Amino acid sequence: MDSILIKDTTREQREQIVAESIGNISGSCDGCAAGLIEMYQDYIDGKKEIREINMAFRANYESGIEGPEKNGCGYAR
């Protein structure tokens, strides 16, 4: 497979791409794998490209929108 774009893949291929990219999703871990699978569900469903999902995640992470606000020397929610 040369392309991972939605137009070039089937749903089954997209599921495989996500599973292989994340690694062992059925092994015992701290529960993070389920959240990653959920994060990429729009790609699996053919709604958003992986690039769009990653860009949205990164933009939210860098902006700190959901993080605590700085209040003087400490942080407050």
7 or 20: whose pLDDT is higher?
Answer: 7
Tell me the residue range of the domain where 49 lies: 6-63
Q: What does the pLDDT read at residue 9? A: 97
What total number of domains does the chain contain?
1
Question: Is 46 part of any domain?
Answer: yes
67 or 8: whose pLDDT is higher?
Answer: 8
Place 60 in a pLDDT band, splitting at 50, 70 and 90: low
CA distance 45 to 43: 5
Residue 37 has pLDDT above 90, yes or no: no
Alpha helices in the chain (DSSP H): 11-22, 32-39, 41-44, 50-63
Question: Is 47 part of any domain?
Answer: yes
Q: What does the pLDDT read at residue 76? A: 52
Place 40 in a pLDDT band, splitting at 50, 70 and 90: very high
Question: Is 32 part of any domain?
Answer: yes
Q: What does the pLDDT read at residue 50? A: 93
Question: Is 75 part of any domain?
Answer: no
